């Protein structure tokens, strides 16, 4: 994802002329995150990181995520640890209330640090870009 110039709108970089950042990877997840798709999501993210070795911050945009199951949450925790071990941060933006509730019932939010949960993608881009 990238920002449409002079706006706070974020769109697919393959479909729109958008601004991107050298050290920031924005990825919108367009479905619930479950045991059935978490491996695909993780493989996609790892492939993007291999193609863009300068990335320091990964932001998962959860606008379309209404649920996350425990298997997927555990995999995200492991992915976060992998990122941290390589000096990168995992961040979440635009998570819906029920998803945030699930994240906060575990120690995921605490483990995320120094990564953060951002209310808006724009906030994440300003803080990390």
Instruction: Give, for all 129 residues of the chain, the pLDDT tens digit.
Output: 999 999 999 999 889 999 999 999 999 999 999 999 999 999 999 999 999 999 999 999 999 999 999 999 999 999 999 999 999 999 999 999 999 999 999 999 999 999 999 999 999 999 998
Q: Spell out the residues 6+ positions from residue 78 whose beta carbon is closer than 8 angstroms to its own.
A: none
**What confidence score (pLDDT) does residue 27 get?**
97
d(CA 66, CA 64): 6
Task: Quote the pLDDT of residue 56.
Answer: 98
What pLDDT is recorded for position 22? 93
pLDDT at 77: 95
Structure token pair of residue 77: 């925790």
- Say how many residues make up the chain: 129
Minimal CA–CA distance to 126: which of 54, 57, 79? 57
Give the pLDDT score at 82: 95
Specify the pTM.
Answer: 0.94
Please enumerate in sequence order all residues whose Cβ is within 8 A of that of 115, keeping only pairs 6 or more positions apart, or say none: 57, 80, 83, 89, 90, 91, 92
């Amino acid at each position: 994802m990238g920002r449409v110039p002079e706006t706070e709108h974020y769109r697919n970089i393959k479909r729109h002329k958008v601004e991107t950042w050298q050290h920031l990877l924005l990825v919108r997840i367009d479905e619930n995150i479950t045991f059935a798709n978490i491996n695909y999501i993780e493989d996609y993210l790892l492939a993007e990181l291999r193609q863009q070795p300068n990335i320091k911050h990964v932001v998962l945009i959860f606008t379309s995520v209404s649920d996350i199951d425990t298997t997927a949450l555990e995999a995200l925790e492991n992915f976060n640890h992998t990122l941290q071990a390589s000096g990168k941060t995992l961040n979440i933006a635009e998570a819906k209330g029920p998803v945030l509730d699930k994240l906060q019932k575990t120690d995921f939010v605490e483990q995320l640090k120094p990564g953060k949960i951002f209310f808006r993608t724009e906030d994440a881009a300003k803080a990390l870009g």
